[in-house]
Amino acid sequence: MTGSLHLVSLPLAPERFFASDNFSGAHPRYLAAIERANAGHVMAYGGDAITKSAVSMFQELCQADVDVLFTFNGTGSNIVALGSLLRSAESVICSEWAHINVDETGAPEHILGIKLHDVISPDAKVKPEHIVAASSALGNVHHVQPGVVSITQATELGTVYSIDEIRVICDTAHSFGMRVHLDGARISNATAALGGDAKTFRAMTFDAGVDAVSFGGTKNAMFGAEAVLLRRGVASDRSGFIRKQNTQLPSKMRYMAAQFVEALTDDLWLETARHANQMASRLYKALEDLTSLKMTPPAVNSLYPILPPDVKEQLQAWNFFWDWDLSRSQVRWMTSWDTSPADVDAFAAGVRAALLGR
């Protein structure tokens, strides 16, 4: 650390961190739902009434003929979804920034034995031209065959695909016989950003032509609850076996399902995501006048500012957040379902003091 770290006095740090939405706890309503589900003996492995209700509610949300598979975590969801869409000798087209490419410890390659075809994308979005270019390998026995296009909504850079962008990607992929997977670890934040209702969710997923969705719950106030939504007739009819083989079949499924029933009953999943997005916007507006701080307005609940290195280090010691691109001194700030306006204001005050006190 540099000596300048000791020269600026910072205000009291906020109660909560701005490092990740994974840092936050679970919403009290989800904990209450788990407690209500914790009564008596019921059928295991999804044979209980709560799980059946959750599946029915997801099918109503999607307004499509989908299978619903609950899983333990996002990486597991992606493995189950991709494994259900892929055939032998096929690859997955994805952004260079995709979580499956950089943040899953090679799980798709190791577990599924497949190749990821990562494409250069400064905004973390796969483009139709990427799919067209990859299609040149089709039919060549010496080349792995592009079989699935995987997009992330919202992306790892906090960008959001428009509904039209997703529709064109799906149309392009399908024209070459490829399937489309949507990694929706933060699908709730993207839905809130694009319209904030069930119609918006459908428009950017199954109505647009997406074949499989990894529906994230953990980053959006849930306790270890994720789901895979698979379009029937496109995804493998053996997806249930794929889930079990890849260690993602919960025996006491009712505890996951209870949270999704609570989320979907009155759109709690959108309420929490909308709040996280709003807190990110509040943070941006509180700091946008600082010319020494370089950042763009958030689309969802993440910001990627560039800070002077000495300021970055002092602020990380004061209220921890992650580095993003060390070569540029770029960091990531994330808000959560429980980030309060007071947290935002306190964090902004600290950033302002650190920058102006240099």
Q: How far apart are CA 106 and CA 158, in angstroms?
A: 22
- What is the structure's pLDDT at 2? 46
Residue 219's DSSP bridge partners are none
% of the chain beyond a pLDDT of 90: 96
| Strand 90-95 versus strand 145-152 pairing type | parallel
Give me the residue label for tokens 């850079």.
157
Length in residues, the chain: 358
Q: Describe the crossing of helices 254-265 and 49-62 by its angle, rounded to 10 degrees.
A: 40
pLDDT value at 63 more than 60: yes
Instruction: Tell me what the mean pLDDT of segment 201-224 comes to.
Output: 98
304 against 1, higher pLDDT: 304
Q: Report the alpha-carbon distance of residue 27 to residue 227 in Å, rounded.
A: 18
pTM: 0.96
pLDDT given for residue 7 in this prediction: 63
pLDDT classification of 5: cutoffs 50, 70, 90? very low
Under the banding of pLDDT at 50, 70 and 90, the label for residue 4 is: very low
| Domains, the chain | 3-16+269-356 (3.90.1150.10), 28-265 (3.40.640.10)
263-293: pLDDT as tens digits: 999 999 999 999 999 999 999 999 999 999 9
255-265 mean pLDDT: 99
Tens of pLDDT, residue by residue over 222-242, are 999 999 999 999 988 899 999
Is the preceding omega at residue 33 within 30 degrees of 0, hence cis?
no
Q: Where are the beta strands (DSSP E) in the chain?
A: 66-71, 90-95, 115-119, 145-152, 179-184, 212-216, 226-231, 302-303, 322-325, 330-334
Q: Please give the angle made by the CA atoms of 113, 159 and 213, to the nearest 5 degrees.
A: 45
CA atoms within 13 A on the CB side of 92: 30
5-14 mean pLDDT: 81
Average pLDDT, the chain: 97
Query: What element of type H or E holds 332?
Result: strand 330-334
Q: Which residues contact 252 (CB under 8 A, 6 or more apart)?
A: 44
Q: How far apart are CA 93 and CA 203, in angstroms?
A: 22
Cα 43 to chain centroid, rounded: 31
Distance in angstroms (rounded) separating the CA atoms of residues 352 and 291? 11
